[in-house]
Structure 1
Amino acid sequence: MRFGIKSLLAAMLFTSVSSSAIASEEVNVYSYRQPFLVEPLFKGFTEETGIKVNVVFAKKGLAERLKREGANSPADLVFTVDIGRLNEVVEMDLVQAVNSDTLNSNIPSQYRDPEGLWFGLTTRTRSIYASNERVKDGEITTYEELADEKWKGRICTRSGKHPYNLALIASMIAHHGEAETETWLKGVKANLARKPQGNDRAQVKAIYEGVCDLSLGNNYYLGKILQDEEQTKWANAVNILFPNSADRGTH
């Protein structure tokens, strides 16, 4: 029987933290993940094990904080929100390897570091949102097509410096190289309907308002929008697309 997320979390906490932390019956977690997403997991872990979870939440800067604290850091475990931030803590030598049969058998190899420096618990996609009135089915199927001149003045996005977009750009470099990716980025920039601004929800709203026809956004934002009565009309104006499904897969 495969483990659920709560059991995997318990396994991760038990195999990642120091024996002194377990002995004190408290675990300290630094988390980029929003409280409402992870607090139910921590609560379940505490109910199952009796071990208290102390959490420090932050939108940014946890890696720098860990570096400053050094060996005196109280943190036992770090929860990140993006592969870029995972790579950051690894490159800064802020984590140590974990060898766990439970984690290795329940998390596929493509979702964990080969040396056991990190383990992925959830995945998400950097999807394309498209107007269901102004974009035909099948009219765009890849990230590469965002640079096509046919989309000139029709694309919205948040800042290219945001980690969500930086991770997508890194993916493009991995698949196409720096030179081709630079050309692609120039093409996408030329197709923007406005200066990058707002968050992913704001791009869906812009499609609803007719500002643009396409946007980049994480897939889970559609669910969030549908849960907001005032924003449901935004969701009803778009289709969510999963680019490159026919070849390398969606980022």
Structure 2
Amino acid sequence: MKKLLTLSAIAASFAAPAMAAEEVNVYSYRQPFLVEPMFNEFTKETGIKVNVKFAKKGLAEKLQQEGEYSPADVVLTTDISRLAELTDKDVVQAVDSDVINANVPAQYRDKENEWFALTLRTRNVYSSRDRVGKLGAEFNYADLANPEYKGKICTRSGKHPYNVSLVSSMIAHHGEAETKEWLEGVKAT
């Protein structure tokens, strides 16, 4: 099975000499309007054509089906859960790049060098001043479990990849027991 390089930002992948080519094939979970300008600028600067297959879901399964015959060179993902899916399905490969190591801090690189990130997602909490009041700078996700917010929380499904990532982060920082207690509190609100 062909293994792929996975990224959270495609530009850095082209810094690796092994990626030098006339064309590069990218599978992307990103919305076209967000990344096409980057691809166009890259082509303008390097002369390398970027062919993109956009998808909302199912790229890991597609890569498994294509196996060693996959045309994909790079996968551009949207968050850590997508990266984990690709590595769990064993469709990625390690990348040894001095350029990446020099420019991407270690905390944003996989320990096995199978992926790296150049951007972080901000998880904002918005509130209605009329219904909730102004939230201060000290407000955090743990506060969402407070009874004072009962009936005032709107969120995506708990199965949405962004929420799965949030809960995973809570587990990593606070442990399973504390995160379970927090989730039960959020559910009760």
Read off the aligned partner of 1:123 and give its amino acid letter. Answer: L
Unaligned runs of 5+ in 1: 1-7, 192-251
CA RMSD, Structure 1 to Structure 2 (Å): 2.0
Q: CA deviation at 1:96?
A: 0.8
For residue 37 of structure 1, the aligned residue among 34, 37, 40 is: 34
RCO (CA 8 Å, sep 6+): is it higher in 1 or 2?
A: 2
Change (3 A) 1:16 1:60: farther
Deviations 1:140-170 (A, max 9, x none): 6121111111111111111111001110011
Distance in 2, Cα, partners of 1:170 & 1:188: 15
- Give the TM-score normalised by the residue count of structure 1: 0.67
**2:114 corresponds to which residue?**
117
SS of structure 2 residue aligned to 1:78: strand
SS of structure 2 residue aligned to 1:59: coil
- 2:175 is equivalent to residue 177 of structure 1: yes
Deviations 1:201-244 (A, max 9, x none): xxxxxxxxxxxxxxxxxxxxxxxxxxxxxxxxxxxxxxxxxxxx
- The 8 Å contact of residues 29 and 77 in structure 1, kept in 2 or not, is answered as yes
- The 8 Å contact of residues 159 and 165 in structure 1, kept in 2 or not, is answered as yes
Equivalent residue runs for 1:1-251 within 5 Å: 9-15=10-16, 22=21, 25-133=22-130, 134-138=132-136, 141-191=139-189
Distance in 2, Cα, partners of 1:184 & 1:10: 38
Moved segments of 4+, more than 6 Å: none
Distance in 1, Cα, partners of 2:179 & 2:39: 40
**2:4 corresponds to which residue?**
none
- Give the TM-score normalised by the residue count of structure 2: 0.87
SS of structure 1 residue aligned to 2:113: coil
Distance in 1, Cα, partners of 2:181 & 2:108: 30
Read off the aligned partner of 1:50 and give its amino acid letter. Answer: G
Unaligned runs of 5+ in 2: 1-8
Once the two structures are aligned, what percentage of the paired residues are identical? 62
SS of structure 2 residue aligned to 1:155: coil
Q: CA deviation at 1:93?
A: 1.2
Distance in 1, Cα, partners of 2:26 & 2:17: 11
